[in-house]
Copies of this chain bind each other. A is one copy, B any other.
Amino acid sequence: MRRTERYPVVGSNSLWHIYKTVPFWKVMKNFIVIQLGRYSPSLPFKNLLYRRFLHMRVGDETSFALMVMPDVMFPERITIGRNSIIGYNTTILAHEYLIDEYRIGNVEIGDRVLIGANSTILPGVQIGDDAIVSAATLVHKDVPAGSFVGGNPMKIIYTAEEMTMRRLNQ
Protein backbone atom coordinates (compact mmCIF):
# COMPACT_ATOMS: atom_id res chain seq x y z
CA MET A 1 0.00 0.00 0.00
CA ARG A 2 1.37 3.38 -0.98
CA ARG A 3 1.46 6.04 1.75
CA THR A 4 -0.46 9.08 0.53
CA GLU A 5 -2.51 11.83 2.13
CA ARG A 6 -5.90 12.29 0.49
CA TYR A 7 -7.68 15.58 -0.10
CA PRO A 8 -11.26 15.36 -1.44
CA VAL A 9 -12.48 18.03 -3.87
CA VAL A 10 -16.03 19.02 -4.79
CA GLY A 11 -17.28 20.07 -8.21
CA SER A 12 -14.90 19.67 -11.12
CA ASN A 13 -11.80 17.45 -11.01
CA SER A 14 -8.83 18.22 -8.78
CA LEU A 15 -6.46 19.14 -11.64
CA TRP A 16 -8.86 21.75 -13.01
CA HIS A 17 -8.36 23.64 -9.73
CA ILE A 18 -4.61 23.05 -9.66
CA TYR A 19 -3.63 26.54 -8.51
CA LYS A 20 -5.94 26.28 -5.54
CA THR A 21 -3.94 23.23 -4.42
CA VAL A 22 -0.45 24.53 -5.15
CA PRO A 23 0.65 28.14 -5.79
CA PHE A 24 1.11 29.14 -9.46
CA TRP A 25 4.49 30.75 -8.77
CA LYS A 26 5.76 27.57 -7.11
CA VAL A 27 4.87 25.42 -10.13
CA MET A 28 6.47 27.96 -12.49
CA LYS A 29 9.67 28.13 -10.46
CA ASN A 30 9.83 24.35 -10.12
CA PHE A 31 9.22 23.90 -13.87
CA ILE A 32 12.08 26.21 -14.82
CA VAL A 33 14.45 24.52 -12.36
CA ILE A 34 13.42 21.06 -13.58
CA GLN A 35 13.92 22.03 -17.25
CA LEU A 36 17.40 23.35 -16.42
CA GLY A 37 18.15 20.13 -14.57
CA ARG A 38 16.78 17.90 -17.31
CA TYR A 39 19.28 19.20 -19.86
CA SER A 40 22.24 20.19 -17.66
CA PRO A 41 25.41 18.27 -18.56
CA SER A 42 26.86 18.74 -15.05
CA LEU A 43 25.75 16.22 -12.45
CA PRO A 44 26.94 18.17 -9.39
CA PHE A 45 25.10 21.26 -10.72
CA LYS A 46 21.84 19.28 -10.98
CA ASN A 47 22.16 18.15 -7.37
CA LEU A 48 22.74 21.74 -6.29
CA LEU A 49 19.67 22.89 -8.27
CA TYR A 50 17.44 20.17 -6.88
CA ARG A 51 18.56 20.69 -3.27
CA ARG A 52 18.55 24.47 -3.29
CA PHE A 53 15.50 25.28 -5.40
CA LEU A 54 13.29 22.17 -5.29
CA HIS A 55 14.10 21.34 -1.65
CA MET A 56 14.67 17.69 -2.54
CA ARG A 57 16.99 15.76 -0.28
CA VAL A 58 19.73 14.31 -2.50
CA GLY A 59 22.69 12.40 -1.09
CA ASP A 60 26.31 12.88 -2.13
CA GLU A 61 27.39 11.47 -5.49
CA THR A 62 23.84 10.61 -6.49
CA SER A 63 23.64 10.89 -10.27
CA PHE A 64 20.65 12.12 -12.28
CA ALA A 65 20.81 11.10 -15.93
CA LEU A 66 19.53 13.17 -18.84
CA MET A 67 15.91 14.36 -18.75
CA VAL A 68 14.90 13.05 -15.34
CA MET A 69 11.53 14.53 -14.34
CA PRO A 70 11.01 15.15 -10.62
CA ASP A 71 7.52 16.11 -9.47
CA VAL A 72 6.75 19.66 -10.63
CA MET A 73 4.29 20.39 -7.82
CA PHE A 74 5.70 18.77 -4.67
CA PRO A 75 9.39 17.91 -5.31
CA GLU A 76 10.14 18.63 -1.65
CA ARG A 77 8.47 15.27 -0.94
CA ILE A 78 11.31 13.41 -2.70
CA THR A 79 14.29 12.02 -0.77
CA ILE A 80 17.16 10.15 -2.42
CA GLY A 81 20.13 8.67 -0.58
CA ARG A 82 23.79 8.75 -1.57
CA ASN A 83 25.58 7.15 -4.52
CA SER A 84 22.36 6.27 -6.38
CA ILE A 85 21.60 6.57 -10.09
CA ILE A 86 18.30 7.87 -11.47
CA GLY A 87 18.11 6.82 -15.13
CA TYR A 88 17.24 8.72 -18.29
CA ASN A 89 13.76 10.27 -18.39
CA THR A 90 12.63 8.71 -15.12
CA THR A 91 9.46 10.32 -13.76
CA ILE A 92 9.27 10.70 -9.97
CA LEU A 93 5.75 11.63 -8.91
CA ALA A 94 4.83 12.85 -5.42
CA HIS A 95 1.22 13.64 -6.33
CA GLU A 96 -1.72 12.07 -8.07
CA TYR A 97 -4.69 14.16 -9.09
CA LEU A 98 -7.87 12.11 -9.42
CA ILE A 99 -11.38 13.19 -10.37
CA ASP A 100 -12.79 13.63 -6.86
CA GLU A 101 -9.65 13.95 -4.75
CA TYR A 102 -5.92 14.51 -4.93
CA ARG A 103 -3.22 12.64 -3.08
CA ILE A 104 0.29 13.61 -2.03
CA GLY A 105 2.92 11.17 -0.85
CA ASN A 106 6.61 11.02 -0.03
CA VAL A 107 9.00 9.15 -2.31
CA GLU A 108 11.97 7.72 -0.44
CA ILE A 109 14.84 6.21 -2.42
CA GLY A 110 17.79 4.71 -0.55
CA ASP A 111 21.57 4.54 -1.04
CA ARG A 112 23.26 2.83 -4.01
CA VAL A 113 19.89 2.39 -5.75
CA LEU A 114 19.78 2.07 -9.54
CA ILE A 115 16.63 3.24 -11.34
CA GLY A 116 16.58 2.24 -15.03
CA ALA A 117 15.62 4.59 -17.87
CA ASN A 118 12.01 5.57 -18.59
CA SER A 119 10.70 4.32 -15.24
CA THR A 120 7.71 5.89 -13.47
CA ILE A 121 7.78 6.13 -9.67
CA LEU A 122 4.43 6.74 -7.98
CA PRO A 123 3.85 8.79 -4.80
CA GLY A 124 4.10 7.08 -1.45
CA VAL A 125 6.66 4.40 -2.28
CA GLN A 126 9.96 3.51 -0.65
CA ILE A 127 12.85 1.96 -2.56
CA GLY A 128 15.35 0.24 -0.26
CA ASP A 129 19.15 0.52 -0.31
CA ASP A 130 21.00 -1.36 -3.08
CA ALA A 131 17.81 -2.11 -5.01
CA ILE A 132 17.89 -2.31 -8.81
CA VAL A 133 14.84 -1.15 -10.75
CA SER A 134 14.83 -2.27 -14.39
CA ALA A 135 14.22 0.19 -17.22
CA ALA A 136 10.59 1.17 -17.97
CA THR A 137 9.31 -0.11 -14.62
CA LEU A 138 6.13 1.22 -13.00
CA VAL A 139 7.10 1.46 -9.33
CA HIS A 140 3.63 1.29 -7.78
CA LYS A 141 4.64 -0.33 -4.50
CA ASP A 142 7.66 -0.55 -2.21
CA VAL A 143 10.89 -2.12 -3.47
CA PRO A 144 12.70 -4.26 -0.86
CA ALA A 145 16.35 -3.38 -0.17
CA GLY A 146 18.78 -5.33 -2.35
CA SER A 147 16.16 -6.75 -4.68
CA PHE A 148 15.97 -6.55 -8.48
CA VAL A 149 12.52 -5.53 -9.74
CA GLY A 150 10.96 -4.69 -13.08
CA GLY A 151 7.91 -4.84 -15.33
CA ASN A 152 4.52 -3.20 -15.50
CA PRO A 153 2.99 -4.11 -13.12
CA MET A 154 6.24 -4.31 -11.15
CA LYS A 155 7.34 -7.72 -9.94
CA ILE A 156 10.31 -8.92 -7.92
CA ILE A 157 12.64 -10.59 -10.44
CA TYR A 158 15.29 -11.57 -7.88
CA THR A 159 15.10 -11.19 -4.10
CA ALA A 160 18.02 -9.72 -2.15
CA GLU A 161 19.12 -13.28 -1.28
CA GLU A 162 19.02 -14.37 -4.92
CA MET A 163 20.99 -11.27 -5.95
CA THR A 164 23.67 -12.13 -3.36
CA MET A 165 23.88 -15.70 -4.68
CA ARG A 166 24.13 -14.43 -8.27
CA ARG A 167 27.01 -12.13 -7.35
CA LEU A 168 28.84 -14.94 -5.54
CA ASN A 169 28.41 -17.28 -8.53
CA GLN A 170 29.74 -14.82 -11.06
Contacts and interface: CB of A to CB of B under 8 A. Distances in A.
A107 interface: no
Contacts of A89: 69, 91
A152 interface: yes
Contact of A97 (B83, B85, B99, B150): B85
A120 B99 contact: no
Contacts of A114: 98-99
B138 A136 contact: yes
A75 to B, nearest CB: 13
Interface stretch (A10-18, A48-56, A158-166): A10-18
B28 A41 contact: yes
A14 B65 CA distance: 11
A41 B24 contact: yes
A18 B61 CA distance: 12
Interface of A: 12-16, 18, 24, 27-28, 31, 41, 43, 61, 63, 65-66, 69, 72, 83-85, 88-89, 91, 93, 96-99, 112, 114, 116-118, 120, 122, 130, 132, 134-138, 140, 150-153
